[in-house]
Structure 1
Amino acid sequence: MEKRKRGEPPHWVMPGVFSGHVIVEEAVERVTSVKLPELLPFEGQAPNEQVKQPEESTWKERIEQLEAQVAELKQSLAAWEERFKALEAEQKRDCEYLYQVVLSLKKEWEKERDEHRDH
């Protein structure tokens, strides 16, 4: 095993690899580093320029569309809730019917068992 000199770093460092400002994005089992100049938009647009705001009529149209979607979703939700309640009631009736069937079968079985016991 080689002896390290005192001034040497504990691992190999490639000079210039991480020079400048670097943003590190971390995820599960993955680390991505991106230099800041790569993140900036193309040179034609300065980062401080403001994007032109859409007109007020565009906003109003979008709001009306969203309100219409909300109304449709509320109607759909109400229909599904009614269907769910109907299915729950049907399931409860079926369960009660099956309980009564099992109870009558049990009584019939006990009656036959008692008859055979006397013989």
Structure 2
Amino acid sequence: SPQYPPSESIHLPEPPTDSEEEDSDADMIPAPNWAQGEELHAALTSQETVDPAGIFGTVKDFSLEDVFKNDKKIKKFRERTSSANWGGPDGLTQEEINRDLAARRIMRANGGWSFNLS
């Protein structure tokens, strides 16, 4: 069996805390070029009109009962009420959707908003 040093002689560093005072900028990993300045602006602009469903596919139904089927403490998860039904009266009207799309086109044509990139 291997020989281990006595536990009293082993030095363990203090675990980090949530204190902001102990956060150090020196510990930060520098952001890559594509995540800064003009490269970031170009990436965000090119991705603005991309439909995420075209990349990731449509969101499939999710069943909490299936996820927690072996948990005896959980009986049944109830469906959300109408506040979660954006297809109902709380959803955007076609007119609101069209106004939003028009405002986005105008914003793009006028140079977009500032990302405050340095």
What is the TM-score with the length of structure 1 in the denominator? Answer: 0.23
Higher share of residues assigned helix: 1
Higher share of residues assigned strand: 1
What is the TM-score with the length of structure 2 in the denominator? Answer: 0.23
Larger radius of gyration: 1
Structure of higher RCO (CA pairs closer than 8 Å, 6+ residues apart): 2
